[in-house]
Chain A
Amino acid sequence: MLAVDVEKRLGDFSIAARFETAAGVTALFGPSGAGKTTLVNMIAGLVTPDRGRITLANTVLFDSEKRINVPAHRRRIGYVFQEGRLFPHLKVAANLDYGRRMTGLAPDPAERQRIVDLLDIGQLGDRRPGKLSGGERQRVAIGRALLMRPRLLLLDEPLASLDAARKREILPYLERLRDEAAVPMVYVSHQAGELRRIATSVVRLDGGRVAAVGGKELLERADVDLM
């Protein structure tokens, strides 16, 4: 599916990571400062690696040797950010349709309805992001990323800015997403608890290096959430 082999220096810190993901939800798990977000930004095309190669299915997204670097807007990779990053000047409906409009996809009302129902955001269309609760905002952000028909969905600590009650509100939606949507996901978190519910495989990151690759047993050993 997704194959990553990249290096990047950022001052004193360096990332040198190599892993592959299968379908389902791959957890990128590790403590803060392990380089998880930078790694995901490299997959999305927002950060350019110094060296390496990133491929998704059969397409090369980045290859330093062949000087290939597909720009972010042509990667078709959905990205759900920790803070949502909804466009404050657009209503929820326009936020949801933004990716479809920018990628030039024809409207697909049935698919849109399916995703809106899945995330339970149908009643929010006329509101602006400033008037949404944290949980609603993240659900809209997930919907916005899904509606551009991504080949891969990146979620970077999508629950980190929410309180415990809001987390419990969102997690079932993410599980439904995993079970219903055919899109593979890379899910970044330092919370073993939420990953235990959502992940199908785990890549454990530490100090910019891949420390372990495997299944959910990697989370069981981390019996307390990493801080």
Chain B
Amino acid sequence: MLDLTPDEWIAIRLSLRIAIVATAVALPFGIAVGWLLARKDFWGKGLLDGVIHLPLVLPPVVTGYLLLISFGRRGAIGSFLYDHFGIVFSFRWTGAALACGIMGFPLLVRPIRLAIEAIDRRLEDAAATLGADRARVFLTVTLPLALPGLIAGFVLCFAKALGEFGATITFVSNIPGETQTISAAIYTFTQIPGGDAAAGRLVLVAIVISLVALVLSEWLARRAGMRFHGE
């Protein structure tokens, strides 16, 4: 039915890899920041909240450009990472993952924060009286109770990462096999004569992946929610 060319398959696999890596790496940071915003009052909290949400409201090209001048080979962070760890982001798929992770981060943090805010803290007190130190309270009570929020955040971030276009193409360009994701490939196909069929195929693939992710997350969240109601 869908006769995908090898190049199209490469773009699909690359997109999935970028989205999965971006979301998986962002997740622990998302949990940490979500917890901080939900539970702690500290100087600069409003600023942190604002900075995290910035990619949501900034033009993606601006975010991409900021990444380019900071994480590029000559950028302050980029040159440091290259000199000390040999890590390169610019024009690599890892850079695409970085861009996607940052663009998806606000969508990841928000449901996690709300889920943690909704937890009955008296349950954490109960866990403490039963001998759990703070780390174990977090791992055995807070995190499991926030699971539906974690799932929601993960899926939103994954979906954003899968479809991210502006920041990615600005930061790491549009190199087939390295940084050309489904979105970038569709864009490229629409720019060349006779590319409509290829673009259409990739559009279908994008729709299918998004739908599967949505249905899967709905199912997971329902299962997680059910556990709390004892069914």
Chain B: which residue is nearest A78 at the CB level? B129
What residue of chain B has the Cβ atom nearest to residue A77's Cβ?
B129
What residue in chain B is nearest A88 (Cβ atoms)?
A: B228
Contact with A along B123-143 (1 / 0, CB 8 A): 101111111110011001100
Chain B interface SS verdict (over half) = helix
Give the chain B neighbours of A87 by CB distance below 8 A. 123, 126-127, 141
Known A81-B122, A85-B122: A128·B230 in contact at CB below 8 Å: yes
Q: Which of A5-13, A97-105, A178-186, A195-203 contacts B (4 or more CB under 8 A)?
A: A97-105
Q: Note all chain A residues with C-beta closer than 8 A to B231.
A: 128, 130-131
Contact A148 B130 (CB under 8 A): yes
Q: Which of B201-231 contact A (CB under 8 A)?
A: 227-231
Question: Hey, which chain B residues are within 8 Å of A99, CB to CB?
Answer: 130-131
Point out the residue from A73, A81, A130 that lies within 8 Å of B228, measured CB to CB.
Answer: A130
* C-alpha gap A68/B133 in the complex (Å): 17
A160 in the interface (beta carbon within 8 A): no
Q: A89-B145, A131-B230 are in contact. Are A46 and B128 (CB under 8 A)?
A: yes
The verdict on A102 contacting B136 (CB below 8 Å), with A73-B131, A89-B144 known, is yes
Residues of the B chain whose Cβ atoms lie less than 8 Å from the Cβ of A210: none
Task: Answer whether A85 and B128 are a contact pair too, CB < 8 Å, given A73-B133, A128-B229, A129-B230.
Answer: no
Q: How many residues of B contact A (CB 8 A)?
A: 24
- Residues of A within 8 Å of B144, CB to CB, are 89
Most buried by B among A74, A87, A129, A131: A87
Interface residues of B in 68-119 (CB under 8 A from A): none
Given contacts A102-B132, A131-B230, contact A81 B126 (CB under 8 A): yes
- How many Å lie between the Cα of A88 and that of B120 in the bound state? 11
What CA separation (Å) do A81 and B122 show in the bound complex? 9
- Given A89-B144, A102-B130, A102-B136, CB of A72 within 8 Å of CB of B230: no
* Residue among B122, B123, B131, B140 with the highest chain A CB neighbour number at 10 A: B131
Number of interface residues of A (CB under 8 A): 32
Whether B131 pairs with A79 at a CB distance below 8 angstroms is no
Q: Tell me which residues across on chain A come within 8 A of B128, comparing CB atoms.
A: 45-46, 71-73
A54 smallest CB distance to B (angstroms): 15
Which residues of A are found within 8 Å of B126, using beta-carbon distances? Answer: 79, 81, 85, 87
| B141 surroundings in chain A (CB, below 8 A) | 87
B129 touches A79 (CB 8 A): yes
Interface residue from B120, B130, B133, B230 paired with A130 (Cβ < 8 Å): B230
Hey, what's the 0/1 contact readout for A69-93 against B, CB within 8 Å counting as 1? 0011111111101010101110000
Contacts of B228 in A (CB 8 A): 88-89, 128, 130
Tell me the smallest distance from the CB of A84 to a CB of chain B, in Å. Answer: 9
A138 to chain B, nearest CB (A): 13
Which single residue of chain B is at the shortest CB-CB distance from A83?
Answer: B122
Q: Which A residue sits closest to B143, measured CB to CB? A: A89
Q: How far is the CA of A209 from the CA of B204 in the complex (A)?
A: 73
Q: Which B residues lie within 8 Å of A127 (CB)?
A: 230
Complex: A79 Cα to B122 Cα, angstroms: 12
Q: List the B side residues contacting A104 at CB < 8 Å.
A: 131
CA distance in complex: A71, B227 (Å): 31
Give the residues in chain A near B140, CB-CB below 8 Å.
98, 102
Chain B nearest CB: distance from A59 CB in Å?
15
CB-defined contacts of A155 to chain B, threshold 8 Å: none
Bound-complex Cα distance A78 to B130 (A): 7
A-B contact pairs, 29 of them (CB 8 A): A46-B125, A71-B128, A71-B133, A72-B128, A73-B128, A73-B130, A73-B131, A74-B131, A76-B131, A77-B129, A78-B129, A79-B126, A85-B125, A87-B123, A88-B145, A88-B227, A88-B228, A89-B144, A89-B228, A98-B130, A98-B140, A102-B131, A103-B131, A127-B230, A128-B228, A128-B231, A129-B230, A130-B229, A145-B130
Knowing that A85-B122, A88-B123, A130-B229 are A-B contacts, what are 10 other residue pairs whose CB atoms are under 8 Å apart, sorted by A's residue number?
A: A46-B128, A72-B128, A73-B128, A76-B131, A85-B125, A87-B126, A88-B145, A88-B229, A129-B230, A130-B228
Q: Which 4 A-B pairs have the closest CB atoms?
A: A130-B230, A128-B230, A131-B230, A103-B131
